[in-house]
Amino acid sequence: MESEQRPNERTVSQLGEFGLIRRVTAQGTGSTNTLLGPGDDAAVLAAPDGRVVATTDVLVQDVHFRLDWSSPHQVGRKAVAVNLSDVAAMGAVPTGLLVGLGCASDAPTELVDGLASGMREEAGLVGTDVVGGDMVTSTTLTISVTALGDLQGRAPVTRGGARPGDVVAVAGRLGWAAAGWAVLARGFRSPLAVVGAHRVPEPPYSAGPLAADAGATAMIDVSDGLLADLGHIAEASGVAIDLHSDRIGVPQRLSEVASALGANPWRWVLTGGEDQALVASFPHDAVLPPGWQPIGAVTEGSGVTVDGSEYAEETGWQHWTG
Ligand SMILES: Nc1ncnc2c1ncn2[C@@H]1O[C@H](COP(=O)(O)OP(=O)(O)OP(=O)(O)O)[C@@H](O)[C@H]1O
Ligand SMILES: Cc1ncc(C[n+]2csc(CCOP(=O)(O)O)c2C)c(N)n1
Ligand SMILES: [Mg+2]
Ligand SMILES: [Mg+2]
Ligand SMILES: [Mg+2]
């Protein structure tokens, strides 16, 4: 058991989100039915009659959402969407959700109603629903969602299978939620195209299992930023990844929003999270499924580059340090 404090590791911000995860997972899991995890978008557990995919993401008021920026219904949709995208990133389909809710004693019941209806709406998009949960009092509105999923006979697509020579491809949007966040943070409420992307992501759920069926060697959903999340694939796979900027491009709408704000849209595309796009590596001769666009290549080495150069700024969101 680790109980004594090490020098220079006295607060969580000194370790950072990923240092903390390394610390709490360092001893591995003692659970004998763990087929995979922790360390990927979801764990895979052996059950006597099959395998279960399991993943949790927590959303906290004023960290992940603001109630003056988003309705409870939108927050409920987002809380479910970010979890369903982790299931998709394994190549699985969701089977059920568990919801832990911490809310203040003076919270209006409409808040809980809105959250619950948003969750049901998002879950319904993929034919699943909430099957259980827990409610507690809390000074900060906190929503913890656990999603369970089924691999339908597929091998899970981990973060660790990318190989030199593979093609890197993306399904879904990049930079839209970050643009929306930037707009809202400046006190604006439009354009709705980007503000809506911050409020409710639109993960390409079916692209996950399709990628698995097409032979994807590694996959992750983009929650923190394209470069940061591809960094997890590069690290877990022991490879380097180079992105081709001309293959990615900046959507016209994001360029317009960026020039209105005096911001850099390319930074949103490369390092903005929360659109929950899927990025994956495929063998170079694989036929990419519908919705997948090639954006780069896997090579020998380490790290993620853009057109051969390291990105000079933060590569994505990190709790405490970012
Ligand atoms: N407290 C914890 N105990 C055990 N494992 C953890 C803990 N926190 C995170 N992990 C594991 O660490 C890995 C990385 O977690 P992380 O939250 O970065 O992934 P993610 O959910 O795909 O990303 P995001 O939270 O940005 O959507 C996951 O396998 C996760 O289960
Ligand atoms: C009010 C408000 N302020 C900031 C942000 C930006 N933000 C918060 S968490 C996160 C990454 C994913 O989180 P996680 O790693 O927990 O899944 C990002 C980009 C926001 N959404 N709302
Ligand atoms: Mg993930
Ligand atoms: Mg997580
Ligand atoms: Mg994160």
CATH at residue 230: 3.90.650.10
Per-residue model confidence (pLDDT) at position 7: 61
Q: What HEC string does 5-25 produce?
A: CCCCCCCHHHHHHHHHHHHHH
Q: Whose CA is nearest to atom 23 of ligand 1?
A: 223
* Residue 275 in contact with ligand 2 by CB distance below 6 A: no
- Domain span at 252: 167-310
Residue type (1 letter), 198: H
Residue 191 sits in the same domain as residue 285: yes
Pairing of strands 130-137, 93-103: parallel
Q: Atom 11 (ligand 2): residue with closest C-alpha?
A: 224
| Pair 87, 171 in one domain | no
Percent of the chain scored above 90 by pLDDT? 93
- Indicate whether 258 belongs to any domain: yes
Is the CB–ligand 2 distance for residue 203 below 6 Å?
A: no
Q: Minimum-distance ligand to the CA of 88?
A: 3
10 Å CB burial of residue 150 (0-12, 13-18, 19+) is: middle
pLDDT of residue 2: 46
Q: Note whether 198 and 288 are same-domain residues.
A: yes
Q: Would you say 51 and 152 are in contact if contact means Cβ atoms under 8 Å apart?
A: no
Answer whether residue 10 shows pLDDT above 90. Answer: no
Same domain, 181 and 131: no
Q: Alpha-carbon distance 292 to 277, whole Å?
A: 10
- On whether residue 13 sits in a domain, the answer given is no
Q: Is residue 86 part of a domain?
A: yes
Same structural domain, 176 and 271: yes
- For residue 169, list its beta bridge partners: 280, 294
124 and 192 co-located in one domain = no
From 90, 81, 97, 21, select the one nearest 53 (Cα to Cα).
Answer: 90
Q: What pTM, to 2 d.p., does this model score?
A: 0.96
Would you tell me how many other CB atoms lie within 10 Å of the CB of residue 108? 11
pLDDT digits (tens, 9 = 90+) for 89-141: 999 999 999 999 999 999 999 999 999 999 999 999 999 999 999 999 999 99
Ligand 2 in contact with 224 (CB < 6 A)?
yes
Ligand 4 centroid to Cα of residue 252, in Å, is 31
Domain for residue 10, yes or no?
no
Looking at the structure, do residues 230 and 298 belong to the same domain, yes or no? yes
Domain boundary pick from 122, 150, 178: 150
Percent of the chain with pLDDT over 70: 97
Measured by CA distance, the residue closest to atom 17 of ligand 1 is 57
CATH of the domain at 119: 3.30.1330.10
Same domain, 100 and 190: no
What tokens does 311 get?
A: 């990105």
Closest CA to 242 of 296, 301, 167: 296
Q: What are 73-83's pLDDT values in tens digits?
A: 999 999 999 99
Q: Per-residue pLDDT averaged across 272-277, rounded? A: 97
136 C-alpha to ligand 2 centroid (Å): 23
pLDDT classification of 241: cutoffs 50, 70, 90: very high
Is 182 within the bounds of a domain?
yes
| Least confident range of 1-5, 151-155, 274-278 | 1-5
Domain count, the chain: 2
Which residue ranges are tagged as binding site for substrate?
Answer: 64, 274, 317
Asked casually if ipTM beats, i.e. exceeds, 0.90, the reply is yes
- Please give the torsion angle defined by the CA atoms of residues 292, 295, 300 and 306, in that order, rounded to the nearest 10 degrees: -150
Burial of 277 (0-12, 13-18, 19+ CB in 10 A): buried
Report pLDDT for 9: 56
Q: Which atom in ligand 2 lies closest to the alpha carbon of residue 62? A: 1
Which phi-psi region, left, alpha or beta, contains residue 104 (left: φ > 0; alpha: ψ -120 to 50)? Answer: beta
Per-residue confidence (pLDDT) for residue 47, from 0 to 100 = 85
